[in-house]
């Protein structure tokens, strides 16, 4: 019997509202603190991964954004594939009915084709969407870890490939608990509420740069854990309390409170990076322009109209509500001047908006693109 099995999935990045930064166990990817995130809807920001396992393949191949190489050249992905092969072999010895099928799958070569529609290694959570997508496709192709009872095991394997990837396995608001067990069995992510819960929440992805960051996330985390005095507070109940406050704000749709938490967490992450030795700077001049603009807009309107968040990179995520789009979008379009955008401007701009733009008093910048999206549903199976 010949073997030729394929599976294809699409996933989107998640953006942490309460940040994951630092590992208590690097090998198992166990975090210093719990984290909370939102999975993005696919408005042009996604990873698509196709896996093919077949006996006519001669070697393991990885095709990333159109560039083909041997799978052995990417040790992280190779390790994840090997883990699924091990599980298939375990099934071949325990499931007599499907023994031959599992054994053949485990022994066949694999071809992985993956594509990101957004910049890689630039603070856009590409590893989160990438490894979540790959894990779902591998589970489907090998026919393992695809039941509710095995969900936590899939979660753990995905987490070991990329910590934040375990959050992209779900849509909506997702809580990744740090856990306390040495083996990491209680360090799992789960969905708090789905993507429909706050349907009027909007997320703007401001891509200011496609440049690969000079210090990768893993290296940055390790340096901060080893040298930053500000990491100590992340090990206390402070973060757990902040997560509880953020969940409560989200469930009550209290944007003002949630916005304050989101910005405080973003600032805390980059303050930790600045206090590391040597210090790490992920933000660019354009990033600081966005931060200052957000604070100015909120002060001008006398409330939190918009919130910013940056992961380990220069690209910004902006949060706002649908009811404020007509005010906020013209301001952002004028002052950030994106070269590409997915939003359309209103027919007319009210005088209050014009006054805000005039009072800003600084020249506009020009970012690469602005993608307007919302909270998304998590991995999607593609034919």
Span 26-59, pLDDT tens digits: 999 999 999 999 999 998 889 999 999 999 999 9
> Which of 3.30.230.10, 3.10.20.740, 3.40.50.740, 3.40.50.300 is the CATH number of 4-195?
3.30.230.10
CB 41 within 8 A of CB 171: no
Residue with tokens 């701009």: 349
> How far is Cα 349 from Cα 327, in angstroms, rounded to an integer?
8
For residue 119, name the pLDDT band (cuts at 50, 70, 90).
low
Q: Which CATH class is domain 201-374?
A: alpha beta
Cα–Cα nearest to 130, from 17, 217, 196, 33: 217
Is residue 146 very low, low, confident or very high in pLDDT (cuts 50, 70, 90)?
A: very high
Taking residues 270-277, what's their average pLDDT? 98
Give pTM, 2 decimals. Answer: 0.94
Mean local confidence (pLDDT), 239-259: 99
What rounded mean pLDDT belongs to the chain? 94
Report the DSSP pairing between strands 307-310 and 14-18.
unpaired
Q: Report in angstroms the alpha-carbon separations of 301 from 200, 290, 294, 335, 357.
A: 20, 17, 11, 17, 12
| Spatial distance between the Cα atoms of 136 and 80, rounded to a whole number of angstroms | 11
| Domain limits, the chain | 4-195, 201-374
H runs (alpha helix) in the chain: 75-94, 99-107, 126-142, 151-161, 217-227, 237-251, 255-275, 285-301, 325-336, 351-360
Distance CA 196, CA 6 (A): 31
Region 347-369: mean pLDDT is 91
Domains 4-195 and 201-374 share a fold: no
pLDDT surpassing 60 at residue 171:
yes
Residue range 231-244, pLDDT digits in tens: 999 999 999 999 99
Q: How far is CA 46 from CA 16, 71, 318, 331, 377, in A?
A: 16, 22, 18, 27, 12
> Residue 346 — pLDDT band, cuts 50, 70, 90?
low
Over residues 138-166, mean pLDDT? 96
pLDDT at 351: 87
Distance separating alpha carbons of residues 299 and 294, to the nearest angstrom: 9
């Amino acid at each position: 019997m010949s073997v030729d099995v394929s599976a294809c999935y699409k996933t989107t990045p998640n953006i942490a509202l309460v940040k994951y930064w630092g590992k208590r166990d690097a090998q198992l990817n166990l975090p210093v603190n719990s984290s909370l995130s939102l999975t993005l809807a696919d408005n042009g920001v996604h990873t698509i991964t196709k896996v093919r396992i077949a006996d006519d393949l001669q070697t393991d191949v990885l095709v990333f954004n159109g560039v083909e190489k041997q799978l052995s050249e990417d040790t992280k992905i190779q390790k994840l594939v090997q883990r699924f092969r091990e599980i298939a072999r375990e099934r071949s010895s325990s499931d007599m009915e499907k023994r031959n099928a599992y054994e053949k799958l485990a022994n066949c070569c694999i071809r992985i084709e993956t594509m990101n529609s957004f910049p890689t290694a630039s603070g856009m959570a590409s590893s989160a969407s990438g490894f979540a997508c790959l894990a779902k496709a591998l589970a489907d192709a090998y026919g393992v870890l695809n039941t509710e009872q095995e969900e936590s095991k899939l979660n753990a394997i995905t987490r070991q490939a990329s910590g934040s990837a375990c959050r992209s396995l779900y849509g909506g608001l997702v809580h990744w608990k740090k856990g306390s067990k040495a083996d990491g069995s209680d360090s799992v992510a789960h969905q708090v509420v789905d993507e429909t819960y706050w349907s009027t929440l909007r997320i703007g992805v401001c891509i200011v740069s496609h440049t690969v960051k000079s210090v990768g996330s893993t290296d940055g985390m390790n340096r901060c854990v080893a040298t930053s005095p500000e990491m100590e507070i992340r090990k206390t109940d402070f973060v757990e309390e902040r997560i509880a406050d953020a969940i409560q704000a989200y469930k009550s749709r209290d944007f003002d409170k949630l916005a304050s938490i989101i910005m405080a967490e973003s600032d805390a992450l980059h303050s930790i990076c600045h206090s590391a030795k040597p210090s790490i700077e992920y933000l660019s001049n354009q990033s600081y322009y966005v931060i200052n603009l957000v604070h100015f807009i909120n002060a001008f309107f006398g409330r939190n109209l918009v919130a910013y968040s940056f992961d380990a990179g220069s690209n910004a995520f902006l949060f706002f509500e649908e009811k404020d789009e007509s005010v906020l979008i013209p301001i952002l379009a004028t002052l950030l001047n994106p070269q590409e955008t997915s939003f359309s401007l209103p027919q007319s701009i009210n005088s209050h908006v014009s006054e805000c733009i005039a009072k800003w008093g600084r020249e506009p910048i020009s970012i690469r693109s602005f993608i307007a999206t919302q909270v998304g549903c998590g991995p999607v199976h593609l034919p």
